[in-house]
Homo-oligomer: A and B are copies of this chain.
Amino acid sequence: MQATAVLLIHCPDQKGIVAAITDFLHNNDGNVISLEQHVDPNLGHFFMRVEWELTGFGISADKIEDYFATLVGNKFGMSWQLHFTDRKPRMAIFVSKASHCFYDILQRYSSGEWDVEIPVVISNHEALGPIAERFGIDFKVFPINKANKAEQEALEKELIKELNVDFIVLARYMQILSDDFCGSFPNRIINIHHSFLPAFKGARPYHSAYERGVKIIGATSHYVTPDLDEGPIIAQDVTHVSHRDDPRELVRKGKDIEKRVLSQAIRAQLEHKILPFGNKTIVFH
């Protein structure tokens, strides 16, 4: 795979945006691999993802940000992110005791399905340490409790900074992060919640689903914000259940959805396909 650049752009909708961007690329001999745009007519807002080959592009990688700002971005009042696919994203994983999402991530990582670095796994329990070890990944325990939460989170933040982590994945991490911690990584923490939000927010959603007698259960991956289970949704999926499924069986069926939905969100993040806007996401193809 050739190295490419990816721009994720949004701005108020106006005439000539697409032409301005494609001209910028064309005038500098950029070969467009993929372009997807979207206008939300209710908001009058424009969204775009464009990817082009770095080889042969007339502007060197380290100057693209600057040139794009001057020649296009600032004129249209754009917000944008610039990514390069020859730099591996760095992802930290937070786990507690459940191993299903963790293994699913590790298998994709170790088989080369994903192009990612995992510099550390962080946990509030020792339980999954041996698994991390088998895969040769650093495992750090931060034994968080009510009393030491601020202090432990500060240490976690320091480690994450030091390791140049791009984003954090909560792979069934059973601790609620403080507002301060959430606020330190806006749209950079991906959680998997074990219900199809907004139904069954908070604790024990499968038990609530059982009590309510639903015929479908689901899982939701979303960016974490200080409002519990209220952040921008990235992916959701569901499965059919029946009266035969007690809470234990719902938990079992749910795990398979959780694995799938969390991995789907991580993959979109790794491919720079998610553009958060307000409390929603644009997920490009």
Contact = CB atoms under 8 A, between A and B. Distances in A.
Number of copies: 4
B246 A233 contact: no
* Residue of A214, A279, A282 with most chain B CB atoms under a 10 A cut-off: A214
A218 interface: yes
A242 B283 contact: yes
A216 B236 contact: yes
A130 to B, nearest CB: 9
Interface size class of A (residues with CB under 8 A): 35 or more
Interface of A: 15-16, 18-19, 22-23, 25-27, 29, 31-42, 47, 99-100, 103-104, 106-107, 110-111, 113, 134, 196-200, 212-216, 218, 232-238, 242-244, 246-247, 252, 255-256, 260, 263, 279-283, 285
Closest 5 CB pairs of A and B: A213-B280, A19-B26, A103-B107, A199-B199, A19-B22
Given A103-B104, A104-B104, 17 more contacts: A16-B26, A18-B32, A19-B23, A19-B25, A34-B39, A38-B244, A99-B110, A100-B107, A103-B111, A113-B255, A198-B199, A213-B281, A215-B233, A215-B283, A216-B236, A216-B238, A242-B283
